[in-house]
Structure 1
């Protein structure tokens, strides 16, 4: 009995010590859909297991809604402990202003340069040789998601590429099915255009336009066919009538729409709905035309704070996020690909395997956030919001405006 009391006392003391060292970390992000919430819960669970506490700071909407709020808090002296941004230059000015924590020591200890693949992900976190963020996934927008039954029940073969999808659209419309689901959030229209550009004009054209700022190419015949395809997509999506991207995904899941151009995060919604990849739905990377993975995705930054306990817990969260176990658990739920090349993804489904295959082949392109400034990207977004919402704007006019934006992009 005495021994039991000693063990109990020791355990109580250990719990008390752990509780005393526990630190609450507010983490802001814009992951609020069903699939996203399931994925972010894996981060929270892994971090809470360290004895600290994840305090969820989800901001409803999208990155376009959340980022200004996040930036305002950081610059206004009310920083969160950690915050999501996309890979690229979105946090560049905050880093330059000295408001973000330098993670170089943690990255070197964890040998991030050896494990992060492709290396461009870590390059996006690096400024003047110092590392300021932890990349957590690879998200590519280059996908077309299809409800198999919507086609098969109407005597159609499930499309294998964009042209077949467009050809099947009239029969879907006759059956009262929206061919292409598309929400009204501004970024969705830009995503659709970028995906069409990469698929129909090719990844080299995409890189020259957004990376090299080739305005002549942007105004040329290669892009003309892309803008014509965008006009077709606009017509196919005219009866979509939803706002959020996940509402558009739900139209596909429920058979009210035939397909959706959307990033691989849509897969999380199919999984929550207990849909089986390759059976209930089909995923076509690169619209079934040019199979590439855009190395966009998400990273977490850690604002500087004058609190030793929070600073210590920030470091623990950074390590947890990139650990092999968390990378597997999070990305399987998110529908994204891991940033590590050394993790076991034997549980990956049909769509994730397609993505991993493309990644292994090296068929990758950078995201536009990695190629252009936030201001230039916003101008592109504004153009495609107008184009997709104004049937009176011709493909020719939109292309001329696009070429002008590219000519002055930075």
Structure 2
């Protein structure tokens, strides 16, 4: 078996026309039950080509996995393919010439004609060349609710954030944690961003994160968002878990009433056998401003000096964005497909809500598409501190946030 760094390129059975089967190591951070079920669809589709998916899952979140991935690529020990989020996370690697140009693959597959919205492919493009394959549309803007928890507390399942926050005392009286929230840094920032879009509106979100509007960030309009974040902090004070999927599990089991989390949480509900609209309720935009964030996941392919690996990389990229794989993967992942030409009759209640919002064009860009990784790290650090330290007032947190935005690149 021939090796190229830690990726394995193995000559095996012929695939026809002189092609050779190749093992490709693919790194990602999809390790929860729902995520594992989804990534298995990619592996199955690639293996069907006669090649072999060698799974390189890295436990933890993207914040844990990305430094490891980047270190391997810059250290001359690249994997064959690796996950990043849409946006600027791999920008420096592309500029350094370490990522493969996929423009020829994209043109052969007519990606520009089928990827919707076009901003997803734009996020993969630098100087007119395409360097990644977008595989899904993930939106943060969801509130997931346990119907059983609200029934136990004797209150109706909320239809928006205001009703949800008002139900918190009754939930606590019933021994139910109002809001499940893990301690991974990105989770607290996600909650704030969702509250911002819902309560201040999509235009305010875009102006702050995209336009770097520090005056708006420190103004009265966002003050109500920070007050809501303070309320969320109190609602989540007894949520003593680390990982996002552990927090989702609290909702699934009825220990917690709700969770602000991206649509990837839906994969966990599916693995648990729960039915959307019956066992759990989903509120896009917290039931206030229904929008879909056009973030998600993309795969990049580090440059490797091996013709067999290069050919297999192109085949994997094509497989990932094929109509059949897009349907199979996204139905398991809880996300939406990047192709606008696939049939999703099998979509459940929550996915249909997302598809309807997407069809209406109610979309915003993800923070990764608007802020640099360094700036997002500062925002993450602020909200980790805020959610873990009740002595930090909403006013203080807002002032510090406005300062970060004013100095953002």
TM-score range, shorter chain: over 0.9
Corresponding residue SS for 1:312:
helix
Shift of 1:152: 1.6
Corresponding residue SS for 2:83:
strand
* Pairwise CA RMSD: 0.9
Structure 1 unaligned blocks of 5 or more: 1-14
2:14 counterpart (13, 17, 21): 17
Alpha-carbon separation, structure 2, partners of 1:194 and 1:382:
14
4+ residue segments displaced more than 2 Å: 15-20
**Deviations 1:164-186 (Å, cap 9, x if unpaired)?**
00111101100110000000000
Matches within 5 A, 1:77-116: 77-116=76-115
The question of 1:234 aligning with 2:247 is answered: no
Matches within 5 A, 1:5-404: 16-18=13-15, 21-404=20-403
**Deviations 1:144-195 (Å, cap 9, x if unpaired)?**
0000011122221100000000111101100110000000000000000000
Note closer, same or farther for the CA distance 1:171–1:83 as it changes in structure 2 (3 Å cut). same
Shift of 1:28: 0.2
Alpha-carbon separation, structure 2, partners of 1:16 and 1:104:
28
Alpha-carbon separation, structure 1, partners of 2:66 and 2:162:
36
Alpha-carbon separation, structure 2, partners of 1:229 and 1:328:
37
**Deviations 1:53-79 (Å, cap 9, x if unpaired)?**
000000000000000000000000000
- Please identify which structure carries the higher helix content: 1
**Deviations 1:97-120 (Å, cap 9, x if unpaired)?**
000000001101111001000000
Corresponding residue of 1:6: none
Shift of 1:386: 0.5
Alpha-carbon separation, structure 1, partners of 2:155 and 2:172:
13
Alpha-carbon separation, structure 1, partners of 2:13 and 2:374:
50
**Deviations 1:10-56 (Å, cap 9, x if unpaired)?**
xxxxx943498110000000000000000000000000000000000
TM-score (ref. length: structure 2) = 0.96
Alpha-carbon separation, structure 1, partners of 2:222 and 2:216:
7
Structure 2 unaligned blocks of 5 or more: 1-11
Which of the two has higher C-alpha Rg?
1
Alpha-carbon separation, structure 2, partners of 1:192 and 1:147:
18
Alpha-carbon separation, structure 1, partners of 2:13 and 2:375:
52
Tell me if the contact between 2:13 and 2:21 (Cα under 8 Å) persists in the aligned partners: no
Alpha-carbon separation, structure 2, partners of 1:43 and 1:17:
21
Alpha-carbon separation, structure 1, partners of 2:221 and 2:86:
28
Alpha-carbon separation, structure 1, partners of 2:44 and 2:343:
20
Corresponding residue SS for 2:153:
coil
Task: Say how many residue pairs are matched.
Answer: 396
Alpha-carbon separation, structure 2, partners of 1:305 and 1:26:
12
Alpha-carbon separation, structure 1, partners of 2:377 and 2:113:
34
Tell me if the contact between 2:152 and 2:174 (Cα under 8 Å) persists in the aligned partners: no
